[in-house]
Structure 1
Amino acid sequence: MKRGKVSVLGAGNGGQALSAHLAINGCEVNLFEHPDFKKNIEEVSKKGGIELSGKLHGFGKIFHATSDIKEAIEGISVIMIVAPSFAQKAFIELALPYLVNSQIIVLIPGNFGSFEIKKILKNNGKDLTIAETNSLP
């Protein structure tokens, strides 16, 4: 069952696990890594996805594993930022020119980062829905 288009920003352990989980459960997933850390997505890009093992297992197809933020979020309805709180602002600043008001941003972990992100968006004429959670879903 197809569930929607999601972009996961941050390709560390959490971002890759979440991307695979979402893909296995029917989402079309893009995985973005900051250009300074693009080595994190080389293997994902080569294989076309991520092999997940454990309670949920299988191959999660990743549509785009990229360090091009425009490619990662264009046409995407939900953007999940999976990065330490101190790094979330950098992801938003990269994405800012390409964000559209119909998108939803989810911060993982939250730690009240939504206040800072909402202020940045408002100061740049953007009005997106912001959500946060303390841990990976």
Structure 2
Amino acid sequence: MSPTRSDSGPDAADPGRRRSGQLESQIITVLTEAGLALTPGQVRDRLAPQADLSYSTVVTILTRLHAKGAVIRERHGRAYHYAAVRDAAGLVADRMTRLLAAEPDRTSVLRRFVGGLDAGDEEILRALLRDDAE
């Protein structure tokens, strides 16, 4: 029996494993909701207690987010304090923009993207484009 889409891929071997970018989004959400800069330990503590994340994992993700320009950091004593530059939706939008920019045939990519949207999302996109045209 061949694997289906739902049981193949890098995350299939470990169902508790997060999808790529999911932890980044969760950390951005924690920082956005906090409304102030947090240390990696504070971020880890505010994530779901069942997340069972190590301090070094949180530091690694925060460092990556800083390199992407999604968070800013300031050193206070021995620890960095991190604050979100944009929310989780902004992070996803940045990722989509980078992926699109890397493709030589942007028209085909956009056509397939729009063709894959459900009716509700397509209507939202059309409304947003109409609003920007006005």
Q: Same fold (TM over 0.5)?
A: no
Give me the TM-score of the superposition, normalised by structure 2: 0.28
Structure with the larger strand share: 1
The structure with the largest alpha-carbon Rg is 2
TM-score by length of 1: 0.28
> Higher helix fraction: Structure 1 or Structure 2?
2
